[in-house]
Every structure is written in structure tokens, then in C-alpha cells.
A and B are shown apart, each in its own frame.
Chain A
Amino acid sequence: MLKSWKVRIGLSILTFFVLLAVFGPVVGGDPRANDIQAISQAPSFQHLFGTTQFGQDVLAQTIAGARGSMLVGILAAVIGTLIAILVGVPAGYFGGAVDNGLNFLTNLFLVMPVLPLILIVAGYVQGTGPFVIALIIGLFGWSGGARTLRAQALSLSSRDFVLAMRMVGEPHRRLIFCEVLPHLTGWISAMFLHGMIGGVMAEAGLAFLGITDSGSISWGTMIQAAQQQSAVLRGLWWWFVPPGLCIALIGTAATLVNFGVDEVSNPKLRMARRSVVVRTRKVAEA
């Protein structure tokens, strides 16, 4: 899998941001420190990414924001993926009445407009720190994953090797955990990455709407602060470009990893890789 350049690049970017989130605040300086000598300054040697209207260093904020955004993203992904597994796998594996109930629930959450729903709930719930935000995002963002897992578990559970192990006498518990689940790791990891981007984006969206606790620093709150202070109308582009770019990078990285994983699991996609096509053409022309 690591042979694919897509996976390698994607994983490097993700690792970078995870490290940034963990160690960043140690090296990044104080994001809340106001340098009244430098207000709304463009990038310079002193402030590589410039400063905000309050004289805060944008680089320090971006680094601190990594922690806020990644925390919500990862937490939301963990919650969403867990629910997806708990709902999707039993539905697909057991079928019947269990499936009818769980599948209905999944479809319901699938057709519900997630963002407005999150907004409404978050609007009622006062004082929304990162944990509450992650919880809400996770609670409403599992349905797509559950649907995929259900379909996969359904087809796996009727595969001959599961039936065969059942005939040998394996109990359901082992069939689910040792026969079915290991085949879903690819899907689950893709889902987790997907959930993480979704979480980061949703957090940014919510922060932008002013739903999250504005005291905490994340890329979303940075963009929101910029918007609030009319950074666009005043040309302070360095304020809102870095956090958005970071989100885009993480999203790209996760998509790249998923792309690579797809190529590994789907040989048809692998055959369509440029390296294969180019090599084929070279041999044909030789």
C-alpha cells in the first residue's frame, strides 16, 4: 500500500498535522498574545504569517488552531465511526428484524439534512466546547458509513467462508470479530479519514456560524474572527487564507490516502494508473 505515492503523500501530510496538533503549541508561541506594535500587519520576518486586527500572530494561531480543529475532527470521527460500526455491522450480519430496525434508523439519518440539524441542536445547546461539538458532529455524521458497512457486512456474512466457519461451529461473536470485521478494516479506515475531514470541516462551518465557543482557537474560529472583523473588506487576506489552506491540505491528504486504498482494493483502478499506462505504451512502441 505504501508503494502508492498518493498514500505516501497523504500520510505524510496527515502525520505532519497530527504532530503539529500535539507539539505545535510548545513551539508556536502564544496565540493569544497581543502585539500592539503590530496590528493588522502583512506577513513579515517578525510575523511570518502577519498579524490579526488584535495584533495576534497568525502563524501562532494557525498552529494552535491545528490542535483545536484536529481534536474535534478526530473525536468526531471516532464517535461517528464507532456508531457506524455498531449500527452497520450487526444490521448486515444478522439481517431480518435487527436489520429492518437499524436500516430504518440509518436511512433516516441519511436523508436528514445534517448541517442544519447540527445547527439547530447546537443552537439549543448553550456553551459548546470542542467536546460537545465533536459529539454533535459524530452523532449526526455516521449514517453514510453505517450504510456502507451494512452492505459490506451483508455480503460478507453470506460469503462461503463465513458459512463454512459457522458449520465448523464458530459462535456468532467470533464470526463477527474474526471473520467479518477484519475484512472491513479498509472501509473503516477510509470512513475514519472521511469522518475526520468531515469533522474538521463541520467544526469550521460551525465556528464560522458562531456556534462554537469563541474562546477556543481553531481554524474555524480564526476564519470566523476574520469574517466578523470584515477582514475581506479590509484586505487582510493573511488572516483567513492560512486556516482555510490547512483544512484543504488535510482534506486533500485524506482523499489521497483513500484514493490509494481504493486502488489497492480495486484492481481495475490500479490498471488505470498513469505509470501502468505509460509503461504499456512504451513496451508497445518498442
Chain B
Amino acid sequence: MLTVLTVLTVRWAFLARRLGFYLAAAAAAIGLNFLLPRLMPGDPSSAIVEELERVSGQQVPAETLLSIRAIFGNPHANLAQQFADYLRQLSHGDLGVSVVNFPVPVADLVWQALPWTLLLVGTTTVTAFAIGTLLGVVAGWKAGSRLDAILTPFTTFLSSVPYFWVALLALWVFGFVLGWTPLSGGYDADLPQGFSLAYAGSVLHHGVLPAATIVFSAFGGWLLGMRNMTVTTVREDYVLLAQAKGLSPRRVMFRYAARNAMLPSFTGFAMALGGVVGGALLTEIVFSYPGIGYLLYEALQKRDYPMMQGVFLLITLAVLLANLVADLAYVLLDPRIRARG
């Protein structure tokens, strides 16, 4: 831990610059979120209020009205005043009220959906990266071999398949034809939610197909990138020297070739991790999986603007946070970053 700390302090200049960027990006995201409804023709906040009143059949409370105005625009205040209101609203974690699920606050719905997405997309992203990278190293190391000659074109095809379509196919084959997996949802609705074995089992049962399709359609991209980087790295002098040293092929492959070839891939991985939250939007929709993606889909279908805005803001901030964490990790992985930074 101590070495980690010293490394980080030494390289603080690089990180400080990145942190500055992410703060600016976060500000931009919030600004965008603020501006979008205000740039649109008409008056979204009035429309939302009307919609709310229509759905609930009662007058919208004054408090809710203020909150909606703060988020979606107040025709009676100037832009600066609106922005101040908007920020105050956000700082309380208030993302507005869902139109469809009135009067449940958007934030609550988001918090409910988040764990599902994190579980599904988080694990699959890591798995796909691990499988793809490992196979990519092997294919690149044995470039031109039969394994490489088969694996590489095949994954080229895989990585070009739209993943929601793979999801549809999988659902049809495994859910419909074979009947091995449930057709929708993230858990068995008949079971009580909680930490019971049966419940966990149902979560697993519902999750396995979406997870498999995500891994299946995502690992090819990692494989291809890693293969080409490995082929390039294998021809570096330090790999040649490692072979000249008589080290075992395994050691040369992993500690010398793969370790360096991974660095660019890792940046991509960071981005993918950031994308986890917004992640496999379409896959979630195909499987009606109760995650963030599905939430956004429902919001879009029903033009639930508060929900759309809230989910989008959350996704953006998550991406930024993940990128920042990735930068931190990168500093540890590549000792040269200090020299460059």
C-alpha cells in the first residue's frame, strides 16, 4: 500500500490534470442535462405537469411543481437563476418525479435498477475482457498458426454482430426452442426478494442467458485488438531479449509480451467499465431485465422525460468516475506515465 501511495504522489501531476478534465466533463454533462430540455421547442415542464395531472388525476403539489421547474425549465425565471435552482435541486439528489410511476422519485427507481445492471454488465464486461484478452494473447503469440487462422476470422464475424440480435437469437434458441432459460425478467417474481438460496438461484437462472450473450458478442473485439497488439509487441527487442535469455515461453509470453501489449487494451477496458451502467441497454430490453437500460427504455417509450434525464445523468457520471479510476490504475500499470505526464 505504501508503494502505491508513493507512486501516486509522484505522479500526482498527471492525475491532477486528468481529475481537472473529469470535473470539467462532469460540469459539461450537468450543463447538457440542464440545457437539453430548455433547448427543445415548447415548454417541457408544463407538458410534464399536465401529463402528471392527467395520469394521477389530481393537482400536482407545489413542491413537486418547483422541482420540475428547476429541472426542466421555468418560463418565469432567467437562465442563470434557473441554473442555480437546478444545481440546488441536484445537490439534494433530487432528479424529479417519474411521470409514469408517479409519485415515485426518479432517484429511487434508479437506485432500484442500478444493482441489477452492475451485477449483469459488470461481471460480463470483466469476463469478456478476460477471455478476449487471454485468447488474443495466445492468437497473437502463435500468429499465423492454425488456431490463429481459425479464431481470428471467426471473432471478426462475432464482433460485428449486433448484440441485441444475438440476444434475440439466444432467447429464441435457449428460451423458446429448448426451454432451458426463462423468457424474461431478472428473477422469479413468485419468490420473496431477499437473501434466500432459492431467490439467488432464480437470479442466476434469469441472468445466465443475458450474461452469456453479452460475453459472446463482446469478447471478439478484445481478442482482435489484443491479437494485433501482441503480434506487434512480440517483435519488440525486449521480447527478443527475453527469448535470448532462455526464459520459459510462458514467462516470455505473459511477463514480457502480454504485459506490454495489454496497455492500450486497458484504456479500452476502462471505457467499457464506464459504459457498464449505460451498458447493455438493448440486451436488457430483449430480456426485459430490470436494470438501468430497461428503465431508460420504458422512459423513452412513455416519454417520461424526468426519468430519461435522471438515468442519462447517472450514466454519464458513472462513465466519468470509471474513467478516473481507470486512469488511477493505469498509472500503476505503466511506470513510464510519470515520464510522459
Contacts and interface: CB of A to CB of B under 8 A. Distances in A.
A209 B22 CA distance: 30
Contacts of B224: 255, 259
Contacts of A256: 153, 156
A251 B160 contact: yes
- Main DSSP-derived SS at the B contact region: helix
A148 to B, nearest CB: 12
Contacts of A167: none
A201 B165 CA distance: 10
A132 B216 CA distance: 32
Count chain A CB atoms within 10 A of each CB in B168, B228, B271 and give the residue with the most. B168
A259 B224 CA distance: 9
Interface residues of A, number: 55
A26 interface: no
Contacts, number: 155
Interface residues on B, range: 35 or more
B36 to A, nearest CB: 6
A113 B165 contact: no
Interface in B150-188: 153, 156-157, 159-162, 164-166, 168-169, 171-172, 175-177, 183
Contacts of B309: 120
Given A113-B319, A116-B315, A237-B172, A247 B161 contact: yes
Contacts of A240: 165, 168-169
Nearest to A200: B162
Contact of B160 (A108, A125, A254): A254
- What are the 3 A-B residue pairs with the smallest beta carbon separation, nearest first? A251-B160, A277-B144, A272-B143
28 contacts: A104-B21, A107-B25, A113-B277, A113-B278, A115-B281, A116-B311, A116-B312, A116-B315, A119-B296, A119-B300, A123-B303, A124-B37, A204-B164, A205-B164, A205-B281, A209-B285, A232-B168, A235-B172, A244-B161, A244-B165, A244-B166, A247-B165, A251-B161, A268-B232, A269-B232, A272-B148, A272-B231, A276-B144
